[in-house]
Structure 1
Amino acid sequence: MELRPVTAASASAQTTRWHAILLAGDRPGGDPLAHAFGVASKSLVPLGGKPMLAHVLQTLLAHPQIGDVFVLAQDPELLFENPALSSFLADPRVRLETSGSGIASSIEGTLQRQWLDWPVLITTSDHVLLDKGTLDWFFDHSADCDVAVGMVDSHAFVADALETKRTWLRFRDVDVTGANLFALNSRSVFPALQYWRSLEANRKKPWRMAWKLGPTLLVSFLLRRLTLIEAFGAAGRKLGVEARPVRIPFARAGVDVDKLADHSLVESMLARQLQ
């Protein structure tokens, strides 16, 4: 399906207006955190008195550069039966999308069905600590490439005195963890999304991801020969896109809620914000 062409008028608007795709689905077999709290979906796990999804959706809708927000889940209507979420449906910018068999294919389908213009932000419903400052930083540093990926380095966690277990990607110059923020800036991302399908099962095993990108990259990764920028350049060339990491200087941007320990940490941080 052909996407709507970008006109000169829409190009200027894109500098200040983003579509957002909010990933709110569950992995096959259900989520352990959802089971622990007795809810139907991880997105409905309560934090600070409301579902995780409500925190992220509220942050996105409040940002002046974000327009439509597409909530992507296996059964999005079921999520919004929750009283803390149903009120969001009164906002015409909230759009519900049914996900497919995988994240990459679901994103690709949403881009094509909705004929979205660029840029497009992708984030997740467990990114509860997402705030305007983080979004501002990411938006300001994610242009002039096809794909930008939010990262937080270990120094930010030390500076903010935030102690939590993360999955670290180790490069010659820095150790980073993901920030669950992605910017898609051009239609060149479609081949990369197709390739992403083969990587999804290995997102917590970076060496397997590197192997799929080629043994040379794998060896370079294992020996920490590449800087972060060099690694993104090499991966981008394999995928046919210009890819760029965006190093976000706020440790909270690198905290998502995957485990009970994460839940306890974020619950305490939200409580301190209200004091």
Structure 2
Amino acid sequence: MAAATEGILEGVGQTLLVLSGKGGVGKSTVAVQLALALRSSGHRVGILDIDLCGPSIPRMLGVEGRDVLTTPQGKWVPVYVDEDKRLSVISLAFFLDSKNDAVIWRGPKKNAMIKQLLTSIMWDVDYLIIDTPPGTSDEHISVMENLRSTPSVLGAVVVTTPQLVAVADVARELTFCKRTKINILGIIENMSGFVCPNCSECSNILASGGGEQLAEHGGVRFLGRVPIEPQLAQCTEEGHNYLDQYTTSTAATVLKAIADILTHTHDDPMEVEK
């Protein structure tokens, strides 16, 4: 067991996986906002972007195009987002010649890169958020196989949108986690209603409640609903800190509450059924 986990996620206190059963549900957006919420609570936070075919985290954090430094020991130094070095990120996007480059790799090369990203980063963080590939692809399986026996892994947060087609895909993700013995920390229902920027009224344009029903059916914790807010979309496009700029918004309040729940999960964890 020790050999299997040797060198993986050194310098990390607790690790949170952010998963989704399909693309387009806002998994990366949720990962970034949870990291920002943890940072605002005083923690040192890292984000590891393992979504190899769609590495979007650097753009969301406003650090696109930065160079990654290497230590004399061959470790990669994460790119710091803020001046006080409390938020850092590593992404495959930093190693591409152009942001428009496509990653056309076969499975073995992807798996080798995932292993390198998990073992070659010089982290010094209280919490590490891992943005995983969507679905249950080959690289997704590689992430889980490398991490499931790692002591620092607190568990997985699963992101869905309210409509039934998305919920059905996420239901398969829950099954995958249980079969691979990954602790499920809870489900977040993203894009749950649209908040009007003028009157603040919330309209359920994509339905509502699917994530909560799935959590109840799967026997896992429902963490909360994050509504669609234009300011959140704008901040992720422009690399701005949404939680700092719109601290009293509905989405910001929900995301901060979810981050608070997750930081206390290890005190009373909800383990998956073995």
Q: Same fold (TM over 0.5)?
A: no
Q: Give the structure with the larger helix fraction.
A: 1
Q: Which has the bigger relative contact order, CA under 8 A and spacing at least 6?
A: 2
TM-score relative to the length of structure 1: 0.28
TM-score relative to the length of structure 2: 0.28
